[in-house]
Amino acid sequence: SVPLTVVAAIGSASKFGVIIKSGAAFERFGLIRHTAFDKTGTLTRNEPVVAEVLTTEGTTRAQALTWAAALEAHSTHPLASAIISASPEKRHADKVIEQAGHGIEGTLDGARITVGSPRWLEAGQLGGSIASLEQQGMTVVLVHRDARPVAAIGVRDELRPEAAEVVRELEAQGIGVTMLTGDNTRTAHTLAQQAGIHDVRAELRPNDKAAAIAELAQNGCVAMIGDGINDTPALATADVGIAMGATGSDAAIESADVAFTGHDLRSLPKAFKHARKGRRIIN
């Protein structure tokens, strides 16, 4: 059974939108020395918009977006909503398979369409433009039709307005901050710099995120904050897994100790402070 003081403290944490699932998780919450943030959908606004579409000869912008959107109609990835919104036609591909951290593939009008990271798919002649879009902080996804690159889509997802303040506040509390992302190194560094995060680990697959958490945990209690299916192993590995409850995937929320249902990340440093006080009262 959980002591009443802990129940009360957990109850007041919920005022910040921080839903702590157990007394044990609350105890660890007050001990956190390091935080690892997922980028897409956690540090960013999660309002991605298509900012650029580059195509190869014979493919139009409208075609590329329609093909990609027909796959993304089956995905809950933040990039999916951007591509669907930009698409002139709303179609549904068949035999769709999503590869967490890589992309998605399926069939449309008898053609094999694949959409995903340039780390996963060959860029061909589009390769030259990708670096420049990434340097501007965009995430680039490639579109393949029958195994040939036909388009590169640049998606912009801005940092949450409070991100830099949250990083400063955590550091002021003596809590370290790392960015973990499946996105590419250039995009990750551009956004990390804007947030004031110096430790950036990019191009990570879901299990790499978990391995990074295990490494950080050697120096003390680690919290992982994430939203996606790709964050599930890392959320489970962390001393405290915090799932973005308002926008996150069900799998992420299930594997976490804490669901964050608030919309302002500044609640997190507030809740950490509160949990440390709670521990002093309890012990």
Contact of residue 96 among ligand ADP, Mg ion, none (CB under 5-8 Å per partner type) = none
Q: List the interface residues with ligand ADP, window 183-242 (CB under 6 A).
A: 183, 228, 230
Nearest CA to 144 out of 109, 115, 185 is that of: 115
Q: List the interface residues with ligand ADP, window 123-152 (CB under 6 A).
A: 139, 141
Query: In angstroms, what is the minimal distance from the CB of 29 to ligand ADP?
Result: 23
Query: In angstroms, what is the minimal distance from the CB of 77 to ligand ADP?
Result: 4
CB nearer ligand ADP, residue 40 or residue 59: 40
255 near ligand ADP, rule: CB under 6 A: no
Q: Which of 182, 241, 245, 278 binds ligand ADP (CB under 6 A)?
A: 182
Q: Which amino acid is at 92?
A: H
Residues in contact with ligand ADP, counted by CB under 6 A, come to a total of 24
Which range of residues in 2-10, 112-120, 238-246, 262-270 is near ligand ADP by CB under 6 A? 112-120
Strands 18-20 and 258-260, bridge-based pairing: antiparallel
Active site includes 38? yes
Contact of residue 182 among Mg ion, ligand ADP, none (CB under 5-8 Å per partner type) = ligand ADP
Rule CB under 5 A: which residues touch Mg ion?
A: 38, 40-41, 227-228
Residues serving a catalytic function are 38
